[in-house]
Structure formats: structure tokens, C-alpha cells
Amino acid sequence: MELILPFLIGILFSASLYLILHRHFFKLILGLILFGLATNLFLFVIGRLTRGGSAIIGQGENVATEPFADPVPQALLLTAIVIGFGIQAFAIVLIKRVYQSFGTTDLDDMSTTDQIEENH
């Protein structure tokens, strides 16, 4: 199980970057979501995986009995998921608005803010 996860994270990262570089709005959104997932999964795995040991201190004990899962990455992960969810929701609405006002799905059509305006 521990061996699969690094590969999974790598695949998610590469797939998300591939999709982001595709320059299509829908793929951009998919890429961003996958990128968020990949970082979240990475954060989860980096705290070392422990199965079936919750970090609850039993009655009458001072510390939790080993082995227990590290609760910190899980707390971080929860926060990161919530924040990522908010940003993704915003990005989806933004891209919908962009599609409605520009009528295009190609990021390459959106270069006006970079151009130097000569004849205005």
C-alpha cells in the first residue's frame, strides 16, 4: 500500500500539470483540481501511514499507546481540503464567467492584458 501511494501522487501531479498546460478551460479546471488532490495526498502520506491506530489517549493514560497515526497531517489535510474546495469553486465560477463574456475556451485567445497598446 505504501508503495502504491508515491506512484499515485506522481501520476496525479504529472497528469494535472499536463492538463493545465493544455490551454483549454475545462482541462485547466480539471488540472487544478487534480493538482490540489495530489498535494493533499502528498501531505497525508508524508506524515507516515499507520493503520488502525487512532491518536486517542485512553482513560487513565498520559500518552497514546504506540503505534498511533499522527493526527497533525490529518488536521492539516482537512484544512487544506476545505481551502482548496473554496478556491476551486471560485475558479469554476470565474471560468464560467470568462467563457460567457469571451465566448472562447482557449487560453491562447486571452492575451490582451499582456499586449502593449499602440493605437488607442
Of 101, 112, 79, 97, residue with least CA distance to 29: 97
Tell me the C-alpha distance between 40 and 73, whole Å. Answer: 10
For the bound state, the minimum distance from the C-beta of residue 56 to other proteins, rounded and expressed in Å, comes to 16
Nearer to other proteins, 51 or 120 (CB): 120
Binding site for other proteins (CB under 8 A): 20, 28, 32, 35-36, 38-40, 42-43, 46-48, 72-73, 76, 79-80, 83, 86-87, 90-91, 94-95, 97-98, 101-102, 107, 110, 112-114, 116-118, 120
Q: How distant, in Å, are the alpha carbons of 1, 18, 27, 53 from that of 9?
A: 13, 14, 19, 24
Q: Which residues, other chains included, contact 2 with Cβ-Cβ below 8 Å and sequence gap of 6+? A: 45, 49
For the bound state, the minimum distance from the C-beta of residue 45 to other proteins, rounded and expressed in Å, comes to 8
Nearer to other proteins, 15 or 20 (CB): 20
Torsion angle, alpha carbons of 5, 12, 36, 43, to 10: 20
For the bound state, the minimum distance from the C-beta of residue 11 to other proteins, rounded and expressed in Å, comes to 15
For the bound state, the minimum distance from the C-beta of residue 54 to other proteins, rounded and expressed in Å, comes to 18
